[in-house]
Amino acid sequence: MEHISDPKRFDAYNPVALGEYKSTLGWLKEWAPCRQSGLGTRLPWDPEFVVESLSDSTIYMAYYTIAHHLQANLDGSQLGPHGIKPEQMTKEVFDYIFLKASPPTESTIPLNVLKQIRDEFEYWYPVDVRASGKDLIRNHLTMCLYHHAEIWRDDPSKWPRGFFTNGHVQVDGKKMSKSMGNFLTLKDCAAEFGADATRFACADAGDGMDDANYALDTCRMAILRLTTEEEWIKKVVEDKTALRTGELNFNDKVFMNQMSNLINVTASFYDRLQWREGLHTGFFEYQIARDSYRDICSRSEVPMHHDVIMRFIESQLVMFSPICPHYCEYMWTFLGKDGFVSVAPWPVAEEVDFSLLRAGDFLNKVTRSFREALTKSSSAGKKKGGKKGAAPAAPVKKATHAQVYLTTEFPGWQQKVLVFMDGLFDTATKQFPADFMKQLKAEITKDDSLKKLTKNVMQFAAFVKAEAELRGREALELRMPYDQKSVLSSNKLYLCRSLELEGIEVRMEEGILTGWERKELSFDVCVCVLIVQFYYVGEDIPNGDAKKLETASPGKPAIFLYAP
């Protein structure tokens, strides 16, 4: 119990599994160690009984470390390189190899061979991790712990360091069975989908104690995704001269930080054998970050940076190689890299600037918000007419100007609430105390300025509480760690092009223009210019909207569209 309870000595990889081991250790003494029928090793002192099969030979991992010295094929019908016969492997020989006992005096195996075999065992043992099914925790795996503790009672360093257990495998959410016609072997899957697509779906099936779901659609999706990615990489490499070099701009730095962050997160998942989570961060989220960077560069009419995009390609191949090795080795060779990607060093992750990550996230959120506001404004003038015979509704003016209101800090009463909430927030669990609302009400009664705004305080606290439980302590900050206006101003062209409004092109201008500028192009397309200006709350804002100003908060600007 002491061994499995010490995370430095034993890792169950799952708190549920660890609880199962502790529970099993409490009752396993009631398990019968032998029986009179069935498979098993006969008891030397009473051959009428056999050792219970689930508890028999649970130190076979020790044999794995020396098996290649003793047998040349799987079933042992061919002797190993030293010609050692089974009858030569006496108890004294095994004690010398496994327990560091004195050299056997009556063994016919040369001592230098025995020493070589013992060195092999000492190199590989103890077991770092044993992967097995969750149904074996209550018998075979716990018995394995007991046997190691008994045989190496004087050397706990030989006891297993970790057992990883998983659930059963389903196919498309259903139990796999021949009667249902969905029984698949790895050979069947590899023949139909290929080895890498099969491995991709296995990684995405799940790693925990719940049953894994092997989805055939995931196999098909993997083939399409890998083919698309291969074509994109080849195109980028062939058109290298079109990539930009030199100093990194804001969006280059954001993407570089995103990569470093995801490299670290993926490594932590792989270390815990959480392949699905690692696949999602090291492949899906990695590509989402690339797609966003590519989109920003395209809409900003700025080529992608050579060093940035090549770092993406190479680092993703390394991170993805444990899951789809054949694809990654092929692409690694295409890039002209030396050696195998499977033994290439893990990508270097620079120190992550989280304020830069948040600035990039801020840009994406504002873009979505701006698009929604413009779409809503455009559709306002397309309302259906009223009742039959009624006077036609006055046409709604099309918005020609936009003001974006930014603020660096919350109002005083909101700051008081944030400071109070910060003192109660648990960063590790991302949770507030169960009696949070009760404590908040008590705090309100002690502060007259808050008492006058009780309803607003309760609503604001409820909103921030949900944000903090999702995003962490950053949701409780009083000020933004980046210049919002600078981020938006430096990405004007991207903001403009990302609106994707039908029939118009939107431009942002520094100067003050009035109305829409109309330009007749040779192919009869009307280009409309929307004037957008950024203001911090507190600045002199001509024609500002007081209600919109009140809704602006740090990191969440308010957008006011109007026609003067």
- DSSP assignment letter at 79: B
Residue 283's nearest CA partner among 263, 306, 260 is 263
Contact 356, 487 (CB under 8 A): no
Q: What is the mean pLDDT of the chain?
A: 85
Assess contact for 44 and 52: CB atoms under 8 A: no
- The helix, strand and coil proportions of the chain, stated in percent and rounded to the nearest 5, come to 50, 10, 35
- In eight-state DSSP terms, residue 265 is H
DSSP string for 356-412: HHHHHHHHHHHHHHHHHHHHHHHHHTTPPP-STTSPPPPPPPPP-EEEEEE-SB--H
Q: How does residue 53 score in pLDDT terms, banded at 50, 70 and 90?
A: confident
- What is the rounded CA–CA span in Å between residue 510 and residue 514? 13
pLDDT digit string (tens) for 318-371?
999 999 999 999 999 999 999 999 999 999 999 988 888 888 988 988 888 888
Cβ neighbours of 307 (radius 10 Å): 15
Residue 91 φ/ψ, nearest 5 degrees? -60, -40
Give me the pLDDT at residue 386, please: 55
* CA distance linking residue 175 with residue 195, whole number of Å: 22
**Pairwise CA distance, residues 356 & 363, whole Å:** 11
Instruction: Kindly list the distances between the CA atom of residue 85 and the CA atoms of 73, 108, 121, in Å, as whole numbers in the listed order.
Output: 14, 10, 19
- pLDDT for 180 equals 76
Least confident of 38-47, 211-220, 452-461: 38-47
pLDDT the model gives residue 474: 82
Cα–Cα distance for residue pair 335/319, rounded to 1 Å: 16
Q: Specify the long-range contacts of residues 45-49, CB closer than 8 Å, at least 24 apart.
A: none
Q: What is the DSSP-derived secondary structure letter of residue 351?
A: P
Torsional class of 450: left (φ above 0), alpha (ψ -120 to 50), beta (otherwise): alpha
User: Among the listed ranges 374-383, 492-501, 547-556, which one has the minimum average pLDDT value?
Assistant: 374-383
- Please, are residues 109 and 93 in contact by the beta-carbon 8 Å criterion? yes
pLDDT band at 376 (very low <50, low <70, confident <90, very high): confident
Distance CA(552)–CA(537), nearest Å, equals 8
Element (H, E) at 214: strand 212-214
Task: With cut-offs at 50, 70 and 90, classify the pLDDT of residue 508.
Answer: very low
Q: What angle do CA 453, 457, 460 make, to 5 degrees?
A: 140
> Which whole-number Å values give the CA distances from 41 to 53, 56, 110, 145, 435, in the listed order?
8, 7, 29, 19, 59
CATH node for 1-169: 3.40.50.620
Kindly indicate the confidence band of residue 510, based on its pLDDT and cuts at 50, 70 and 90: very low
382 phi and psi angles, rounded to 5 deg: -115, 25
Residues 405-431: pLDDT tens digits? 888 778 888 889 999 999 999 998 999
CATH label, 171-176+185-343, candidates 1.10.730.10, 1.10.150.120, 3.40.50.300, 3.40.50.150: 1.10.730.10
Give me the pLDDT at residue 501, please.
Answer: 45
Q: Is the dihedral of CA 145, 149, 150, 151 positive or negative?
A: positive
